[in-house]
Amino acid sequence: MTRRRPFLRVLGVAALVLLCLGCHKDDHGGGNSFLFENNAQFNGGRTVRWPNLPIRVFLGNGVASAGEVTAWTSATGGAVTFSFVGSAGAADITLAFRSGTDICGVTHVEFNDTGEITSANVLVSQAIYRGPQCVRTVTHETGHAIGFLAHTSDGGLMDDDGGNGDITPPVAQMLRDLYSLPPGTFISAERAKPLVERRARGRNTMTFIYPVRR
């Protein structure tokens, strides 16, 4: 039976801007267009990332393995690192189960106007998230939780349907670039997207649903 390729919807942004493969340096803070399109445009042209490394992760009660998270450390050549803690209260990123079979998982990312991510919560659907309809759910959602705030169309893991499950070189390079710059580094104001969901005191929330069936 041929698997239907679902698409991914993003809530909390006015529009979803997909991959720009033409990565190049620009004149705004030494960044590049790929970093702008997939991160900075959602904060008025300034970078959004965790302010400190390693990022503390609570894997939940059997929700995920450490390797599903540290795949990003390997892919970025150590630019993004993690430590693992024993409780949600001590974590930056938390993972937990959700009920239902409507989606593979959902991630909520909150950050402030200075570009610092303050929390990220990943919920995976226990019944299906490791099934054939779900492509590396934990690793995909962790990518959003560390600052990949949009989606690619290059056939890789950060496509809206998880693609072939591989972390592609442009995605890995973008995260290396992101974590070489302080949070809130100005990249560009071009076509910056206002967030739909804004909270008090400059807090912003983005929600990623993975994937939504047609």
Residue 200's pLDDT is 59
User: Is 1 part of any domain?
Assistant: no
User: Is 16 part of any domain?
Assistant: no
Mean pLDDT per 10-residue segment, the chain (214 residues): 38 29 36 88 95 98 97 98 98 98 96 97 98 97 98 96 97 98 93 67 88 58
Q: What's the first-to-final CA gap in the chain, in angstroms?
A: 17
Find all residues with CB under 8 Å of 52, minimum gap 6, and list them.
none
User: Is 4 part of any domain?
Assistant: no
Helix (H, G, I), strand (E, B) or coil at 146: coil
User: Is 190 part of any domain?
Assistant: yes
DSSP conformation letters of 29-81 = TT-BHHHHHHTGGGGTTB--B-SSSSEEEE-TTTT--HHHHHHHHHHTTTSS-
Residue 206's pLDDT is 93
Identify whether the C-beta of residue 178 lies closer than 8 Å to the C-beta of residue 39: yes
Say if residue 65 is exposed, middle or buried (CB neighbours under 10 Å; 0-12, 13-18, 19+): exposed
DSSP state of 160: T
User: Is 15 part of any domain?
Assistant: no
Alpha-carbon distance values, 11 to 48, 88, 168, 193 (Å): 17, 24, 24, 13
Residue 179's pLDDT is 98
Residue 175's pLDDT is 98
What is the span of the domain harbouring residue 167?
Answer: 26-212
User: Is 197 part of any domain?
Assistant: yes
Count of domains in the chain? Answer: 1
Residue 182's pLDDT is 98
Q: Find the CATH number of the domain harbouring 41.
A: 3.40.390.10
User: Is 12 part of any domain?
Assistant: no
Helix pair angle (137-145, 66-75), 10° resolution: 60
Alpha-carbon distance values, 48 to 127, 135, 182 (Å): 32, 25, 9
User: Is 97 part of any domain?
Assistant: yes
